[in-house]
Structure 1
Amino acid sequence: MPQSTKTAIIVIGGAEDKVHGREILQTFFRRSGAGEARIAIIPSASREPAIIGDRYQRIFEDMGAKEIKVLDVRDRAQGSDAELQEYVETCTGVFMTGGDQLRLCGLLSDTPLMEKVRQRAHLGEITLAGTSAGAAVMGHHMIAGGGSGESPNRSLVDMATGLGIIPEVIVDQHFLNRNRIARLMSAIAMHPDRLGIGIDEDTCIIFERDGWLQVMGKGTVTIIDPGELSHTNQVDIGSTDPIGLHNLRVHVLCHGDRYHVYKRALMPVNA
């Protein structure tokens, strides 16, 4: 199967271009089957789900998707709705919008609907994308909120349980645009068995089933790898004291760069 039509998980840092080249959204559309795409939009993170759902519906209609359905889930009972599950069973792409990641997880985590989405994404049967809050939910451990612009410290980040689509990672979004590097480092200090991924606006990672991710977009993706962490004072300090992290490995990746999540290795630039 050609690379451009293979299913993938696409994790977007937010504020993706919706007007001009729409490069990231076009990639989701193509990976979902282009003219044969049957797309499910999940706007449940948003406080205005009808408005944001309609906006993405128009975008994918303009691109020529075969069918689009907005799954406007506003209470947990709808996560067991047979009609919605049936659509998710047959669609080719699922797009989770921005908003509040706690709201999204509160409505959909552990529902039959989201279990079906996760299962089909893992089997490579659909392309799954999430932007902003829809990106934050990708890991098992999720950054639910917090501050920016301080030294890393425990009070800087609020953690919760995400949807576990890519359980090995902790994702932060609007990353360098909102100065969130210390926030992600604080999260990684608490969970040093995970990989931190910070994604800038109008930037995404395309995560393939073989473990490689590719960066696309105008900004950067920051990888924080604590695999060789030699020391942290995280367990010994108060919640507002600065966290020390020794021997942390950091990569800053640009459009076209590739990284293997499980091997924690970069693909050589000329490969």
Structure 2
Amino acid sequence: MLHIDSQAQELRMSQSTKTAILVIGGAEDKVHGREILHTFFERAGGSEASLGIIPSASREPGIIGSRYERIFAEMGAKEIKILDVRDRAHGEDSYYIEYVQNCTGIFMTGGDQLRLCGLLADTPLMEVLLKRVRLCEISLAGTSAGAAVMGHHMIGGGGSGESPNRSLVDMTMGLGIIPEVIIDQHFHNRNRTARLLSAVAMNPDRLGIGIDEDTCVIFEQDGVLRVMGRGTVTIVDPAQLSYTNQVMVGASDPLNLHNLRVHILCHGDRYHLQQRQPISPDIEDRVNAISDSDRLVKGDE
């Protein structure tokens, strides 16, 4: 049994050191367990991490950047720089670009996603970051506005508390880090279900992902999403959408969406991005545990 536990622990430790993209719904715990922030810290190298904090979405980037700098310093990061991009010229700054070329993790804070995209989109700094993320050379995290910018299409703003309709959501271009998704954050906390449904109706080739506060979706290298945190993640899959009236009705008229698939995931749940299927943790872990046990017993024999 000790042999099995040891191997399982080694597997978890190996997984925790891989680079990943962490998409956080906002208002993550910064005081107590800091589970989500600590996971980013570990995925970015732990005590050997060289971190860059981009607070550009915030109206007070100096204050917000310094707050995260203190948090990651307390965790023991080797190096931390605040990349205080306040105009597009900073996106061409050789100092910032060189740091992103060599650091192990980038954290984008909350604020205004339109401001963040306006400062970073199509800059040399963003090109370097995108290249390194796609080569799995760096971990990237974004919270709130930093989460909203992840897709090719982005929710720039909108309302809540209504039936789904086109006027409920303002769509624009994101940073294209995870092109196939549309992210909405502070999801159930701000009653944004209808807003995400409206966005998906207008972009039925994208997967809608709504993330609650203090909740994170970890996009792994193998295409599997893993959920952590105290809330839920809502996945809206329009792959089998059979009908919607969105092109035929007025902007404020209610939308219909037929044959839509919706999944609600919570801490520990997983979802395969390409296969568009949730992975049951209980069944898979039970099967893997039995297989590992059989293999180790036979090996001991």
Q: Into which bin does the TM-score normalised by the smaller protein fall?
A: over 0.9
2:69 is the alignment partner of 1:57:
yes
Q: Which residue of 1 aligns with 2:47?
A: 35
Q: Secondary structure at the match of 1:235?
A: coil
Q: Does 1:235 align with 2:235?
A: no
Q: List alignment gaps of at least 5 residues for structure 1.
A: none
1:205 is matched with which residue? 217
Q: How far is 1:181 from its partner? A: 0.4
Say whether residues 1:88 and 2:108 are aligned partners: no
Cross-structure match for 2:148: 136
TM-score by length of 2: 0.89
Which secondary structure does the structure 1 equivalent of 2:142 belong to? strand
Query: Which runs of structure 2 are paired with 1:136-215 in the superposition (5 Å)?
Result: 136-215=148-227
SS in 2 for 1:68: strand
1:263 and 1:194 map into 2 onto residues whose CA distance is: 14
CA drift at 1:268? 2.4
The match for 1:244 among 251, 256, 265 is 256
CA distance in 1, matches of 2:58, 2:191: 23
| Residues 104-146 of structure 1, C-alpha deviations (whole Å, 9 max, x = no match) | 0000100000111111111110000000000000000000000
Query: 1:261: how far off?
Result: 1.1
* Offset of residue 47 of structure 1: 0.6
CA distance in 1 between counterparts of 2:84 and 2:56 reads 6
Percent identity of equivalent pairs: 75
Give 1:267 deviation, angstroms.
Answer: 1.0
SS state at 1:2 partner: helix
* RMSD between aligned residues: 0.7
1:15-57 Cα deviation digits (max 9, x unpaired): 0000000000000000000000000000000010000000000
State the secondary structure of the residue aligned to 2:57.
coil
Q: Which has the higher helix share?
A: 2
CA distance in 2, matches of 1:46, 1:118: 21
Counterpart of 2:83 in structure 1 is 71
Structure 2 residue identity aligned to 1:41: I
Moved more, 40-49 or 259-268: 259-268
3-state SS, counterpart of residue 247 of structure 2: helix
Structure 1 residues 235-261: Cα deviation after superposition (integer angstroms, max 9, x where no partner): 000000000000000000000000011
| TM-score of the superposed pair, with normalisation by structure 1 | 0.99
SS in 1 for 2:234: strand
Aligned-pair CA distance for 1:266? 1.1
CA distance in 2, matches of 1:199, 1:116: 27
Question: AA paired with 1:265?
Answer: Q
Deviations 1:210-263 (A, max 9, x none): 110000000000000000000000000000000000000000000000001111
Does residue 283 of structure 2 align to residue 266 of structure 1? no
1:116 maps to 2:128: yes
The number of residue pairs the alignment matches comes to: 271
4+ residue stretches of structure 1 with deviation over 4 A? none
Hey, what's the Cα distance between the residues in 2 that align with 1:255 and 1:14?
16
- Pick the aligned partner of 1:105 from 105, 117, 120: 117
Aligned counterparts of 1:6 and 1:217: Cα–Cα separation in 2: 19
Offset at residue 190 of structure 1 (A) = 0.4
SS at match of 2:32: coil
- Counterpart of 1:59 in 2: which secondary structure? helix
- Give the structure with higher Rg (CA): 2
